[in-house]
Amino acid sequence: MDIASIVGILAAFGLMLAAILIAPGSSLAAFYDAPSLMVVIGGSIAAAMISFPLKNFLGVGGVAKNVFFNKTANVSSLIETIVSLAETAHRDGLLALESRIDEIDNKFICLGIQMAVDGTRPEVIEDIMRTEIDAVATRHKDGKSVIDQMGRFAPAFGMIGTLMGLIIMLGNMEDTSSIGSGMAVALITTLYGAIVSNAIFLPFAEKLGFLNKQELLSMEIIVRGIMAIQAGDNPRVIEQKLNTFIPPKARAGAQEAA
């Protein structure tokens, strides 16, 4: 559960709400227009549906969920786990790792350890693990790009809605008293597009990109760890190598714990 993203969304919408309510002579009702919502939200979704195969489009919910419910791997404890596996392998041999597979809940470590225990050749292990990393990177990028596109389409459909509103308004200029309200309604669509894009889609896409990068880093650490364990490296050397991936502060803690 990622508190920052939830607080961020609440803050963004709370601030805009507050700014509307403070303003003299404004009312929330003036900021609600169903057809505008339809054009912006519906249009962005429709454009995303055209842009992607159905399966990828439908997967966007599961992808977006990660923004809030991500279990960012704790890199320090990941390194501790690998070092502890390296100590077992160093003390009792590679085969002793088999008994420890059950206690590890990171599937990528298990995959590597299993292959090492099975005596798979190092090149094959590295090849399979790196292909897996590439595949994960591709899948994540695909998921992110649906949200990215929606963040790009939303302001465009906001502008489309505003142009539609302006054209309708300009066609009814006899009634000059309604020009102001007609224009206000027209602008709402642009406002919706800007809000949806800048307070939801773009930050979500940014966060997913960030999380992906972090997961790929964890996987990279695991590959290097497994390769070093299989090569029979000294656990202390492995720890030193892997620790370079994390900032010095986090490192100290890891060393104490190890």
Residues from 169 through 228 that contact its own copies (CB under 8 A): 170-173, 179-181, 183-184, 187-188, 190-191, 194-195, 197-200, 202-204, 206-207, 210-211, 213, 217
CB-CB contact of 153 with 52 (8 Å) = no
d(CA 108, CA 178): 63
CB-CB contact of 219 with 42 (8 Å) = no
Contact string (CB under 8 A) for its own copies, positions 21-50, x = contact: -xx-xxx--xx--xxx-xx--xx-xxxxxx
- CB 109, min distance to its own copies, A: 15
In the bound state with its own copies, the residue whose beta carbon lies nearer, of 92 and 127, is: 127
- CB 87, min distance to its own copies, A: 19
- The secondary structure of 70-86 as a DSSP string is -----HHHHHHHHHHHH
Query: In 3D, which of 244, 251, 209, 246 has the Cα closest to residue 228?
Result: 244
Count residues binding its own copies (CB under 8 A).
Answer: 101
In the bound state with its own copies, the residue whose beta carbon lies nearer, of 3 and 102, is: 3
- CB 229, min distance to its own copies, A: 16
231 counts as binding its own copies under rule CB under 8 A = no
d(CA 227, CA 43): 49
Judged by CB under 8 A, the residue of 65, 122, 167, 257 near its own copies is: 167
- The secondary structure of 35-48 as a DSSP string is HHHIIIIIHHHHHH
- CB 141, min distance to its own copies, A: 9
Query: In 3D, which of 151, 147, 149 has the Cα closest to residue 198?
Result: 151
Judged by CB under 8 A, the residue of 139, 236, 255, 258 near its own copies is: 139
Q: Which parts of 62-91 interact with its own copies (CB under 8 A)?
A: 67, 72
CB-CB contact of 169 with 186 (8 Å) = yes
- CB 231, min distance to its own copies, A: 12
CB-CB contact of 113 with 97 (8 Å) = yes
